[in-house]
């Protein structure tokens, strides 16, 4: 796991939260067909000039313990490997091994 990936993800999450309201307001302006075309174009240009990591699609699910980006169990925010280790150790309440 690369440290810069985890740091980049944390920065992206923070920037998405900071710019969420402004981004949503501009998107509603752009999508409103009853507004003047010039106003809609300026709103679109403002949306395009936002920093790189302010888009919600940039944020990815990551394991809170190991930082892995694949095989995430979203209910617990853990990768499948960490989830299994913690479940077998009895550290996750309500999770137990299958009977089969």
CA 97/CA 1 separation, integer angstroms: 28
Residue 3 binned pLDDT confidence (cut-offs 50, 70, 90): low
Same domain, 54 and 23: yes
Q: Are residues 73 and 40 in the same domain?
A: no
Q: Are 16 and 50 in contact (CB under 8 A)?
A: no
Closest CA to 32 of 22, 44, 21, 20: 44
Instruction: Write down the pTM of the prediction.
Output: 0.64
Containing domain of residue 52, as a range?
1-59
Count structural domains, the chain: 2
- 8 A C-beta contact, residue 11 and residue 3: no
User: Does residue 32 sit in the same domain as residue 53?
Assistant: yes
Q: How confident is the model at residue 23 (pLDDT cuts 50, 70, 90)?
A: very high
pLDDT grade, residue 7 (50/70/90)?
A: confident
Whether residue 23 sits in one domain with residue 13: yes
Q: What confidence tier does 64 reach under pLDDT thresholds 50, 70, 90? A: confident
CATH number of the domain to which 83 belongs: 4.10.830.10
pLDDT of residue 11: 86
The reply to whether 44 and 71 lie within a common domain is: no
């Amino acid at each position: 796991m690369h440290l810069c990936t985890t740091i980049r993800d944390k920065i992206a999450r923070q920037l998405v939260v900071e710019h969420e309201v402004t981004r949503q307001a501009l998107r509603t302006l752009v999508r409103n067909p009853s507004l003047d075309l010039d106003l809609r174009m300026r709103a679109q240009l403002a949306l395009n000039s936002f920093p790189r990591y302010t888009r919600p699609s940039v944020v990815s699910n990551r394991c809170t313990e190991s930082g892995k980006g694949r095989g995430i169990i979203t209910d617990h925010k853990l990768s499948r490997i960490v989830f299994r280790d913690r479940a077998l150790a009895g550290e996750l309440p309500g999770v137990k091994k299958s009977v089969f």
